[in-house]
Amino acid sequence: MLKITNVKKHFGGVKAVDGISFEIKKGKITALIGPNGSGKSTLFNLISGVYPLDEGNIYFKNEKLNEKKIEQISNLGISRIFQKSRMFDNLTVRENLILAIDNQNQKFWKNLFVNNVTKEKEEKVLDALTLVGIEKKIDSRGDELSFGQKRLVEIARAIIKPHELLMLDEPVAGVTPPLRKTIATLLLKLKKSGETILLIEHDMNFTLGIADRVIVLDEGQVIADDSSKKIKKNKKVLEAYLGG
Protein backbone atom coordinates (compact mmCIF):
# COMPACT_ATOMS: atom_id res chain seq x y z
CA MET A 1 0.00 0.00 0.00
CA LEU A 2 2.73 2.48 1.02
CA LYS A 3 6.23 2.14 -0.38
CA ILE A 4 9.18 4.28 0.71
CA THR A 5 12.40 3.99 -1.28
CA ASN A 6 15.75 5.53 -0.26
CA VAL A 7 14.07 8.64 1.13
CA LYS A 8 16.32 11.47 2.33
CA LYS A 9 15.67 14.80 4.00
CA HIS A 10 18.43 17.06 5.31
CA PHE A 11 18.10 20.30 7.26
CA GLY A 12 21.43 22.05 6.76
CA GLY A 13 24.03 19.59 7.98
CA VAL A 14 21.49 17.46 9.88
CA LYS A 15 20.50 14.23 8.12
CA ALA A 16 17.01 13.93 9.57
CA VAL A 17 16.07 11.09 7.19
CA ASP A 18 19.00 9.38 5.54
CA GLY A 19 18.09 6.70 3.02
CA ILE A 20 15.03 5.04 4.58
CA SER A 21 13.23 2.27 2.69
CA PHE A 22 10.29 0.06 3.71
CA GLU A 23 6.77 -0.98 2.69
CA ILE A 24 3.52 -0.94 4.65
CA LYS A 25 1.06 -3.79 4.16
CA LYS A 26 -2.72 -3.48 4.26
CA GLY A 27 -4.65 -4.50 7.34
CA LYS A 28 -1.71 -4.26 9.77
CA ILE A 29 -0.54 -1.94 12.52
CA THR A 30 3.03 -0.78 11.87
CA ALA A 31 4.90 1.32 14.44
CA LEU A 32 7.89 3.62 14.06
CA ILE A 33 10.00 3.94 17.20
CA GLY A 34 13.30 5.58 18.06
CA PRO A 35 14.74 8.36 20.21
CA ASN A 36 13.99 12.04 19.72
CA GLY A 37 15.66 13.22 16.53
CA SER A 38 15.71 9.79 14.93
CA GLY A 39 13.57 10.95 11.99
CA LYS A 40 10.10 9.63 12.85
CA SER A 41 8.08 12.83 12.63
CA THR A 42 10.14 14.08 9.69
CA LEU A 43 9.26 10.88 7.83
CA PHE A 44 5.56 11.37 8.64
CA ASN A 45 5.81 14.92 7.29
CA LEU A 46 7.44 13.67 4.09
CA ILE A 47 4.72 11.07 3.54
CA SER A 48 1.90 13.56 4.10
CA GLY A 49 3.50 16.32 2.01
CA VAL A 50 4.37 18.77 4.79
CA TYR A 51 8.04 18.65 3.70
CA PRO A 52 9.39 18.08 0.17
CA LEU A 53 11.80 15.16 -0.33
CA ASP A 54 15.47 15.77 -1.06
CA GLU A 55 15.93 12.31 -2.60
CA GLY A 56 14.06 9.04 -3.00
CA ASN A 57 10.44 8.17 -3.75
CA ILE A 58 7.21 7.62 -1.86
CA TYR A 59 4.35 5.67 -3.44
CA PHE A 60 0.81 5.21 -2.14
CA LYS A 61 -1.28 2.65 -3.99
CA ASN A 62 1.38 2.78 -6.73
CA GLU A 63 0.93 6.54 -7.16
CA LYS A 64 4.02 8.70 -6.66
CA LEU A 65 3.59 11.29 -3.91
CA ASN A 66 6.85 13.24 -4.32
CA GLU A 67 5.45 16.33 -6.04
CA LYS A 68 1.93 16.26 -4.61
CA LYS A 69 0.52 18.86 -2.24
CA ILE A 70 -0.79 18.10 1.24
CA GLU A 71 -4.46 18.20 0.20
CA GLN A 72 -3.80 15.99 -2.85
CA ILE A 73 -2.15 13.35 -0.69
CA SER A 74 -4.98 13.57 1.82
CA ASN A 75 -7.56 13.14 -0.92
CA LEU A 76 -5.80 10.00 -2.16
CA GLY A 77 -6.76 8.34 1.13
CA ILE A 78 -4.20 9.18 3.82
CA SER A 79 -5.69 10.44 7.08
CA ARG A 80 -3.40 11.75 9.83
CA ILE A 81 -3.42 13.06 13.37
CA PHE A 82 -0.56 15.27 14.58
CA GLN A 83 1.34 15.46 17.87
CA LYS A 84 -0.40 18.71 18.81
CA SER A 85 -4.14 19.29 18.74
CA ARG A 86 -5.50 20.78 15.52
CA MET A 87 -9.13 21.10 16.56
CA PHE A 88 -11.08 24.30 16.02
CA ASP A 89 -11.60 25.19 19.69
CA ASN A 90 -14.34 27.70 18.89
CA LEU A 91 -16.45 25.07 17.12
CA THR A 92 -18.33 22.08 18.49
CA VAL A 93 -17.19 18.49 18.24
CA ARG A 94 -19.93 17.90 15.65
CA GLU A 95 -18.71 20.80 13.52
CA ASN A 96 -15.09 19.65 13.74
CA LEU A 97 -16.05 16.22 12.40
CA ILE A 98 -18.27 17.56 9.61
CA LEU A 99 -15.16 19.17 8.15
CA ALA A 100 -13.51 15.77 7.83
CA ILE A 101 -16.42 14.08 6.06
CA ASP A 102 -16.10 16.05 2.83
CA ASN A 103 -12.31 16.06 3.08
CA GLN A 104 -12.02 19.54 1.57
CA ASN A 105 -11.41 22.64 3.67
CA GLN A 106 -13.01 24.93 1.10
CA LYS A 107 -16.37 23.23 1.66
CA PHE A 108 -16.27 23.62 5.42
CA TRP A 109 -18.05 26.90 5.96
CA LYS A 110 -20.59 26.05 3.28
CA ASN A 111 -21.33 22.78 5.07
CA LEU A 112 -21.85 24.53 8.40
CA PHE A 113 -23.73 27.62 7.41
CA VAL A 114 -25.66 26.84 4.20
CA ASN A 115 -27.84 24.10 5.68
CA ASN A 116 -25.73 21.40 4.10
CA VAL A 117 -25.50 19.15 7.19
CA THR A 118 -27.48 16.12 6.07
CA LYS A 119 -28.92 13.32 8.18
CA GLU A 120 -26.33 10.98 6.67
CA LYS A 121 -23.49 13.25 7.85
CA GLU A 122 -25.01 13.50 11.31
CA GLU A 123 -25.17 9.70 11.52
CA LYS A 124 -21.54 9.36 10.42
CA VAL A 125 -20.44 11.85 13.06
CA LEU A 126 -22.39 10.06 15.80
CA ASP A 127 -21.08 6.64 14.70
CA ALA A 128 -17.46 7.86 14.81
CA LEU A 129 -17.88 9.46 18.22
CA THR A 130 -19.61 6.35 19.56
CA LEU A 131 -16.72 4.23 18.30
CA VAL A 132 -14.23 6.24 20.38
CA GLY A 133 -16.63 6.52 23.31
CA ILE A 134 -17.17 10.27 23.36
CA GLU A 135 -20.59 10.67 21.77
CA LYS A 136 -21.93 12.60 24.79
CA LYS A 137 -19.55 15.45 23.93
CA ILE A 138 -20.96 15.97 20.43
CA ASP A 139 -22.26 19.48 21.21
CA SER A 140 -19.29 20.57 23.34
CA ARG A 141 -16.90 23.19 22.03
CA GLY A 142 -13.28 22.26 21.56
CA ASP A 143 -12.16 24.55 24.36
CA GLU A 144 -14.48 22.73 26.79
CA LEU A 145 -12.73 19.37 26.34
CA SER A 146 -9.89 17.83 28.31
CA PHE A 147 -6.66 16.94 26.52
CA GLY A 148 -7.63 13.27 26.40
CA GLN A 149 -11.09 14.05 25.06
CA LYS A 150 -9.55 16.18 22.32
CA ARG A 151 -7.31 13.26 21.39
CA LEU A 152 -10.32 10.98 21.02
CA VAL A 153 -12.10 13.57 18.87
CA GLU A 154 -9.03 13.84 16.63
CA ILE A 155 -8.93 10.07 16.24
CA ALA A 156 -12.65 10.09 15.41
CA ARG A 157 -12.01 12.83 12.86
CA ALA A 158 -9.23 10.81 11.24
CA ILE A 159 -11.51 7.77 11.08
CA ILE A 160 -14.49 9.64 9.61
CA LYS A 161 -12.39 11.21 6.85
CA PRO A 162 -12.41 9.04 3.68
CA HIS A 163 -9.15 7.08 3.86
CA GLU A 164 -7.26 3.83 3.33
CA LEU A 165 -4.30 4.58 5.62
CA LEU A 166 -4.40 6.02 9.14
CA MET A 167 -1.22 7.81 10.29
CA LEU A 168 -1.18 8.49 14.03
CA ASP A 169 1.56 10.67 15.49
CA GLU A 170 1.83 9.85 19.22
CA PRO A 171 -1.86 9.05 19.78
CA VAL A 172 -1.46 8.43 23.53
CA ALA A 173 1.13 11.08 24.42
CA GLY A 174 -0.01 12.91 27.55
CA VAL A 175 -3.18 10.89 28.13
CA THR A 176 -4.06 8.94 31.27
CA PRO A 177 -3.28 5.20 31.63
CA PRO A 178 -6.99 4.20 31.42
CA LEU A 179 -7.35 6.22 28.21
CA ARG A 180 -4.25 4.54 26.77
CA LYS A 181 -5.96 1.20 27.26
CA THR A 182 -9.09 2.56 25.60
CA ILE A 183 -7.13 3.77 22.57
CA ALA A 184 -5.19 0.47 22.35
CA THR A 185 -8.47 -1.45 22.30
CA LEU A 186 -9.86 0.94 19.68
CA LEU A 187 -6.86 0.55 17.35
CA LEU A 188 -6.99 -3.24 17.59
CA LYS A 189 -10.70 -3.09 16.81
CA LEU A 190 -9.98 -0.91 13.78
CA LYS A 191 -7.34 -3.36 12.56
CA LYS A 192 -9.80 -6.22 12.92
CA SER A 193 -12.23 -4.28 10.72
CA GLY A 194 -9.54 -4.01 8.01
CA GLU A 195 -7.87 -0.67 8.79
CA THR A 196 -4.21 -0.09 7.94
CA ILE A 197 -2.41 1.94 10.62
CA LEU A 198 1.04 3.53 10.74
CA LEU A 199 1.88 5.10 14.08
CA ILE A 200 4.63 6.85 16.04
CA GLU A 201 4.56 6.35 19.79
CA HIS A 202 7.09 6.68 22.61
CA ASP A 203 5.11 4.48 25.01
CA MET A 204 6.77 1.14 24.30
CA ASN A 205 4.31 -0.93 26.34
CA PHE A 206 1.48 0.54 24.29
CA THR A 207 3.34 0.16 20.99
CA LEU A 208 4.59 -3.39 21.44
CA GLY A 209 1.20 -4.42 22.76
CA ILE A 210 -0.66 -3.56 19.55
CA ALA A 211 1.82 -3.38 16.64
CA ASP A 212 2.20 -6.28 14.21
CA ARG A 213 5.49 -4.85 13.03
CA VAL A 214 7.98 -2.36 14.49
CA ILE A 215 10.47 -0.30 12.50
CA VAL A 216 13.25 1.18 14.64
CA LEU A 217 14.94 4.39 13.51
CA ASP A 218 18.16 5.97 14.72
CA GLU A 219 19.89 9.00 13.23
CA GLY A 220 17.61 8.95 10.21
CA GLN A 221 18.17 5.30 9.33
CA VAL A 222 16.36 1.99 9.90
CA ILE A 223 18.32 -0.13 12.39
CA ALA A 224 15.70 -2.85 12.96
CA ASP A 225 12.50 -4.01 11.28
CA ASP A 226 10.67 -6.98 12.76
CA SER A 227 7.61 -8.26 14.60
CA SER A 228 6.84 -6.83 18.03
CA LYS A 229 7.68 -10.19 19.57
CA LYS A 230 11.16 -10.23 18.04
CA ILE A 231 11.81 -6.53 18.65
CA LYS A 232 11.21 -7.17 22.35
CA LYS A 233 14.14 -9.60 22.28
CA ASN A 234 16.45 -7.53 20.06
CA LYS A 235 19.38 -6.72 22.35
CA LYS A 236 20.41 -3.61 20.43
CA VAL A 237 16.89 -2.21 20.51
CA LEU A 238 16.43 -3.05 24.19
CA GLU A 239 19.63 -1.30 25.13
CA ALA A 240 19.04 1.77 22.97
CA TYR A 241 15.28 2.35 23.38
CA LEU A 242 13.69 0.18 26.01
CA GLY A 243 16.29 0.54 28.76
CA GLY A 244 16.75 -3.21 28.93
* Each residue's pLDDT tens digit, 174-204: 888 999 999 999 999 999 999 999 999 888 8
Q: Mean pLDDT lowest for which of 5-9, 60-64, 99-103? A: 99-103
- pLDDT tens digits, 37-95: 889 999 999 999 999 999 999 999 989 999 899 989 999 999 998 877 778 888 899 98
- Tell me: pLDDT of 240 over 80: no
Q: What is the CATH number of the domain that holds 30?
A: 3.40.50.300
Mean pLDDT of 31-36: 90
Q: How many domains does the chain have?
A: 1
Q: Which pLDDT band holds residue 217 (cuts at 50, 70, 90)?
A: very high
Structural domain range at position 95: 2-242
31 in the Ramachandran plot: left (φ > 0), alpha (ψ -120 to 50) or beta? beta
Q: Which pLDDT band holds residue 244 (cuts at 50, 70, 90)?
A: very low
pLDDT of residue 162: 87
- pLDDT tens digits, 139-178: 999 999 998 899 999 999 999 988 999 999 999 988 889 9
- pLDDT tens digits, 113-135: 545 678 888 899 999 999 998 99
Q: Which pLDDT band holds residue 221 (cuts at 50, 70, 90)?
A: very high
Question: 222, 224, 231: which is closest to 21 by C-alpha?
Answer: 222
Sequence-ordered strand ranges (E) for the chain: 2-11, 14-24, 29-33, 55-60, 63-64, 78-81, 165-169, 197-200, 213-218, 221-227
Mean pLDDT of 199-227: 92
Give the distance from CA 156 to its chain's centroid: 12
- pLDDT tens digits, 222-235: 999 999 889 888 88
* Cβ atoms 165, 77 nearer than 8 A: yes
Distance, in Å, from the CA atom of 79 to the CA atom of 197, rounded to the nearest integer, reads 10
pLDDT of residue 110: 54
- Tell me: pLDDT of 30 over 90: yes
* Cβ atoms 79, 158 nearer than 8 A: yes
